[in-house]
Amino acid sequence: MIMRWLGLLPLVLRSPRRGRLEGRSRAGARWTALRDAPPAAPLLRTRSWRLTIALLGALLASLAAPALAVQPDEVMKDPALETRARTLSGELRCLVCQNESIDDSEAPLARDIRILIRERIGKGESNDAVRAYLVSRYGDFILLKPPFKLETWLLWLSPALTLGLGVAAALYARRRAPRATPRLSAEEEAQLAALTNGDASSG
């Protein structure tokens, strides 16, 4: 089953508007729909598009239309294991959707991965093992939270770097600004003393 989907994956990934094609409500679909106004009609002119749409249509028709993300029949008997499965599926990306976890996705591929996770957890594998297996298969792309490594250290450190830069800029600006209250010169001190003395004597 999975292999069938995988064979199609490159095709689906290549289609620029894959998010909308399956025609189901999904996270971001509202925005997606707002953004890409021109519907499929002009796109149909290209051949690869027709193919993609036809294939997707056939795939959808071949399945009983899933309308919910996690289906009742997927849920595991053991609540503890199910909780683990839910946690894990919340961290994994639906590969054919736009920025959506497989836990929230209605796509058939997401369902397959959800079932695969539950099978493996049911066999006693740890969450880390299942995650590692999926990464070996689909790459880091499947992780919603990118791992910290050579390619992503800049991403992970960007908040700290930005904040550091901001603090440095603030300190620099402060140093450049004139002192809040410059000390009085000796002459001014004398004047002040004279004034206050005069005040005291008159008062």
Partner 1 sequence: MIVEIGHFALVLALAAALAQTVVPFWGARVGDLGMMDVGRNAALIQLALIAIAFAALVNAHLTSDFSVLNVAENSNVAMPAIYKISGVWGNHEGSMLLWVFILAIFGALVALFGRALPRKLRADALAVQGLISVAFLAFILLTSNPFERLSPAPFEGRDLNPILQDPGLAIHPPLLYLGYVGFSIVYSFAAAALIEGRIDAAWARFVRPFTLVAWSFLTLGIAAGSFWAYYTLGWGGFWFWDPVENASLMPWLAGTAFVHSVAVMEKRDALKIWTIFLAILAFSFSLLGTFLVRSGVLTSVHAFANDPRRGVFILAILAMFICGSFALFAWRAPMLKQGGLFAPVSREGALVVNNLLLTTACATVLFGTLYPLALEQLTGEKITVGAPFFNLTCGALLLTACFAAPFGFSLAWKRGDLLGVVQRLAFAIIVGAVTAVVAVAWLSGGPIFAPLAMGLGVFVIIGTVIEVVMRSWRPGLTAGVALKRTFGLPLSFFGAALAHLGLGVTLLGLSGLGFGAETIATLHKGVPAIVGPYAVTLDSVGERVGPNYKESIASVTVRSGDTVVAQIEPARRQFAAREMSTTQAGLKTLHFGQIYVSIADPAADGSVPARLYWKPLVTLIWLGGAAMALGGGLSLADRRLRFGVATRAKAGASALAQPAQ
Alpha carbons 90 and 78: distance in angstroms, whole number? 18
Residues 41-80 that bind partner 1 (CB under 8 A): 41, 65-73, 75
Q: Is 140 in the site for partner 1 (CB under 8 A)?
A: yes
Alpha carbons 41 and 87: distance in angstroms, whole number? 40
The residue among 71 and 127 lying less far from partner 1, judged by its C-beta, is: 71
Q: Is 19 in the site for partner 1 (CB under 8 A)?
A: yes
* Interface residue with partner 1, options 29, 53, 55, 116 (CB under 8 A): 29
Residues 170-189 that bind partner 1 (CB under 8 A): 170, 173-174, 177-178, 180
Task: Provide the minimum distance between the beta carbon of 67 and partner 1 in the complex, in angstroms, as a whole number.
Answer: 4
Alpha carbons 97 and 18: distance in angstroms, whole number? 7
The number of residues that bind partner 1 (CB under 8 A) is 66
Alpha carbons 40 and 175: distance in angstroms, whole number? 59
Task: Compute and round to an integer the Cα radius of gyration of the chain.
Answer: 31
Nearest to 68 by CA among 12, 111, 115: 111
The residue among 60 and 116 lying less far from partner 1, judged by its C-beta, is: 60
Which amino acid, residue 47?
R
Task: Provide the minimum distance between the beta carbon of 191 and partner 1 in the complex, in angstroms, as a whole number.
Answer: 23
Q: Which residues touch 5 (CB under 8 Å, ≥6 apart)?
A: 108, 109, 112
Task: Provide the minimum distance between the beta carbon of 166 and partner 1 in the complex, in angstroms, as a whole number.
Answer: 4
Task: Provide the minimum distance between the beta carbon of 129 and partner 1 in the complex, in angstroms, as a whole number.
Answer: 19
Alpha carbons 190 and 172: distance in angstroms, whole number? 35
Residues 82-101 that bind partner 1 (CB under 8 A): 91, 93, 98-101
* Interface residue with partner 1, options 9, 167, 192, 194 (CB under 8 A): 167
